[in-house]
Each structure stands twice: as C-alpha cells, then as structure tokens.
Amino acid sequence: MFAVKNEYVVFTGILLSMTRQQAKALVYSLGGIYQSTVTQKTTLLVSGTSTIDLLDNFVWELV
C-alpha cells in the first residue's frame, strides 16, 4: 500500500480492483486529499488500465 497521507491524489483510466468512489474513500481514510482533475497541487497520479491504450493510440496518430 502506498503512503498517501497529505498527498493530492487523482485517478485516471479504468480502475480494476475498486470503483472510483471506493478509491476516493480509501484516499480520504489514509489521510490523502482526493482531486477529480489534475492541478498544480497534484502530487500522485494513479493510472488505470485504459489510459495506456489511449496514449499508445495517440502516439501512433502522431507518427
């Protein structure tokens, strides 16, 4: 388990092991600060599975 106390946490992509609401509750229970979008305060970005696929597709479009 990662230490998230006082971290500003954002989730992106599809979370396989829990719902986004459960993830949000977990962040709060561990003393973290949940954010729905990335900001200058964001210190921890949790990437779900689909994010990588989307990035791969984007990179191929640029080539």
Q: In this predicted model, which residue has the larger pLDDT, 50 or 46? A: 46
pTM of the predicted model as reported, rounded to 2 decimal places: 0.73
- Closest among 51, 50, 33 to 42, alpha carbons compared: 33
Domain ranges of the chain: 8-62
Q: pLDDT tens, 24-40? A: 999 999 999 999 999 99
* CATH number listed for the domain at residues 8-62: 3.40.50.10190
The pLDDT-based confidence of 62 (bands split at 50, 70, 90) is very low
pLDDT recorded at residue 1? 58
